[in-house]
Structure 1
Amino acid sequence: MVSFPNAKVNLGLNITEKRSDGYHNIESVFYPIAWADMLEVVKSEEQHFQTTGLPIPGDAANNLIIKAFDLLKNEGLMPDAHVNIHLHKILPMGAGIGGGSADGAFMLKLLNEVFELNLSITQLQGYASQLGSDCSFFIENKPMYCFGRGNEFETVNLDLSKKTWVLVNPQIHISTAEAYASIKPQKPEVSIKEIIAQPINTWKDTLVNDFEIGLKDKYPKILEIKDKLYGLGAIYASMTGSGSTVFGIFDKELEGLSEMFSGCICWQGKGI
C-alpha cells in the first residue's frame, strides 16, 4: 500500500512563553500542502527498510517511520508483523515543513490499514503525539490552529486550496536550538487565529513568524527570498516553522522558479 506524506506550512508562528518544563508555548496555524514524499508498506516475511531520493542522515532506527512501526508493535497490536518499507524522500529535511513528522504519522495510518487494526482517529492521534509534537496534525491533515507546546490543535475554517503555493528552500540548516536562541517569548496583541480570519491581503503587516524576525539578520538570504516572492506578486510570504524554507501564496502560477532561485530547492503547487 502506498501513501504520500505531505508537507505543511506555518501561517504565522508566535512564541508566547517559556514553560516550567523547559518547552515553549506557541501558537500557529498549520496548513497542509501537496508537496509530498512517497511511502510504501507491504507485509513481508522479514523486516526491511529502504530509502531512495534525498539522502537521510543518521541511524535508520531513529527515523520516525521505524519508531511508528515499533510503537504499534510494542503495544501488542501486531506482535508478529514484518513489513517491507520503501520511503522515497522528496521533502528536504530540517526545512520547517514537517516532512519527518508527516512520514511518521502516515506510517501509523498505513499500518492501521494494512493490518486492519481499526484504530480511531483519536487513537492514531494519541500514538502520533508520542512520536513528536506536530505528528498528530498529519492524522487528519487539515488546517489547524496549533497551541500549547505545539501538540494541541483546533480546527479552523480556512480554505486556500485554489491558491498557488511556492516554496523556496535555500538549503540553509537552522537547528531548533539556534532558532530559539534569538527568541524573547511574549504574548501577541492579536491572536493568529483572529488574524487568519481576515482577508489574506491583510496578512502581510499582521501575520508574523517570530523565528523569522530573530534569524533575518544572521541569514539575509531568507529575507531576500521573501522580498523576491512579494516582487513576483505574492499575496502573502513568510518563512515557515524554524526555517529556512520561505513560502509565497499567489493567485497565479510562476514560470522559471529554478532559474529565479538558483541554488535553492523549489516547489510549486496547491494546498490540500
Structure 2
Amino acid sequence: MIYIPSYIKINLTLRVFVPREDGYHEIATLFHKLGPVEWLGVKKFNDPAQKDVINSHNIVISGTNIINRAIDFLREKGIKLPPMECDIWKILPIGSGIGAGSGNAAAMVEWLSTVHDIDLDPSELASIGADIPFFLSKSKTALATGVGERLKLLDQLTGIYALLAIPDKSISTAEAYRKLDEDRKKGNINIVPVSHAIYEALNIYGNLERRKKIGLLPNDFISILRKESDFYDKFFDLCNTFKSSLAWSVSGSGSSAFCLFTDKYEALKAQEVMSSKLVEISKIFVLE
C-alpha cells in the first residue's frame, strides 16, 4: 500500500458575492495551505472486475465520497485507471471549513496523475470541489476568485504558524450560505465590491509578509457564526492576548477558527491556554 499525505486550507480572507444561476457563489479569497494532516493509503486491485473500495477510518462519511467522484471524473475523461482500494485516516470532521475532503481528493488525483502520466487542467476538477485546483497547485498561498478555481499564485508565506481550533458543533456549507443570503436580503450584511475584496486580500497578504499585526481578518461568515455560538468571540478575545499573534478569523463558512503566530513556541503555549479555557473545542492543532 502506498501512503499519500493530504493537506487542508484556511481562508485568510473570504468575501462572498451574489449567487450565480447554477446556485454557486462567486468569491474572492486568500487561500493558505497547511499540513499535511490526514493520510491516504492506496493500493491497486489486480482483478479488473473489482469495484473501487473507499474506507474511511475514525469518521464515517455518508453518501458518495469525494474521492470516488474524483476517480469517476478521471475515468469519464477517458483515463484508464485500474480498480483500487483507498483507506482514509480521517482526523478532521466534516463541516469545518478547511477543505479536508477536497484535500483528500486532490491528494488522490495528484498521485494518479504522477503514476499514470495524466495531463489534466486542475480547474476542471472545480466541479467536484471548488478548492481542489488550489490543493493541486504548488503554491502554499494564492488569491482565488470565481468559485475558488481561478488562482493567482503568490510567494509562500513562511515562518507563520496557525493555531487551528475546531469546535464541537459544525455548520454545513449549504446552511451557512443560505443564512448569509437571508441576512443580505434583510439588509444586515453588505456585499463589498469585487475590486475592494481583491485589494483587501492582497493588502493583508503584504502585511502578513511584513509580520504586521492585523487582528480580525475579513470573512463574510463571521457574523453568521457569531449568532450560532459565543465560541468565536471568546476565541478572538484570547487571540488578541498572545504576544506574537498576528491575525485571527474563521476558515471558509466555518466552523473552524484560527490564529496566526510568528513564533511556534508561543503558538504551542496558546494551544494549551485555548484548550483549558474553551470547553467547546473538539480538536486543536498547531500547523505550518
Q: Specify the TM-score bucket, using the shorter chain as the normaliser.
A: 0.7 to 0.9
> What is the Cα deviation at residue 128 of structure 1?
2.3
Render the CA deviation track for 1:34-64: whole Å, top value 9, x for unaligned: 15111011111333322212232x12xx211
Match of 2:246 in 1: 235
Match of 1:14 in 2: 15
After superposition, the CA RMSD in angstroms is: 2.2
TM norm structure 1: 0.86
**Aligned AA for 1:231?**
T
| CA distance in 2 between partners of 1:127 and 1:149 (Å) | 12
Match of 1:213 in 2: 223
Structure 2's unaligned 5+ residue stretches are: 185-190
| CA distance in 2 between partners of 1:141 and 1:244 (Å) | 26
Match of 2:286 in 1: 269
> What is the Cα deviation at residue 149 of structure 1?
2.2
> What is the Cα deviation at residue 21 of structure 1?
4.2
| CA distance in 1 between partners of 2:36 and 2:222 (Å) | 22
Structure 1's unaligned 5+ residue stretches are: none
Cα 1:129/1:177, change in 2 over 3 Å: closer
Match of 1:186 in 2: 192
Query: In the alignment, is the contact (CA less than 8 A) between 1:164 and 1:268 conserved in 2?
Result: no
TM norm structure 2: 0.82
**Aligned AA for 2:117?**
N
Query: In the alignment, is the contact (CA less than 8 A) between 1:162 and 1:270 conserved in 2?
Result: no
> What is the Cα deviation at residue 245 of structure 1?
0.5
Query: In the alignment, is the contact (CA less than 8 A) between 1:170 and 1:263 conserved in 2?
Result: yes
Cα 1:259/1:54, change in 2 over 3 Å: farther
- Could you say what secondary structure the match of 1:195 adopts? helix
Query: In the alignment, is the contact (CA less than 8 A) between 1:196 and 1:203 conserved in 2?
Result: no
| CA distance in 2 between partners of 1:99 and 1:239 (Å) | 15
> What is the Cα deviation at residue 222 of structure 1?
1.6
**Aligned AA for 2:246?**
I
Note the 1:149-164 alignment, pairs <5 A. Answer: 149-159=147-157, 161-164=158-161
| CA distance in 2 between partners of 1:263 and 1:214 (Å) | 18
Note the 1:18-97 alignment, pairs <5 A. Answer: 18-45=19-46, 46=50, 47-56=52-61, 58-59=62-63, 62-78=64-80, 81-97=82-98
**Aligned AA for 1:53?**
N
Match of 2:117 in 1: 118
Query: In the alignment, is the contact (CA less than 8 A) between 1:200 and 1:236 conserved in 2?
Result: no
Render the CA deviation track for 1:127-160: whole Å, top value 9, x for unaligned: 422312111111025211011222211112241x
Match of 1:245 in 2: 256
Cα 1:103/1:141, change in 2 over 3 Å: farther
- Could you say what secondary structure the match of 1:97 adopts? coil
| CA distance in 2 between partners of 1:2 and 1:35 (Å) | 12
Which stretch shows the higher mean deviation, 210-219 or 145-154?
A: 210-219
Cα 1:22/1:86, change in 2 over 3 Å: closer
Give the paired residue count.
Answer: 261
> What is the Cα deviation at residue 219 of structure 1?
2.1
Q: 1:138 aligns with which of 129, 132, 135?
A: 135
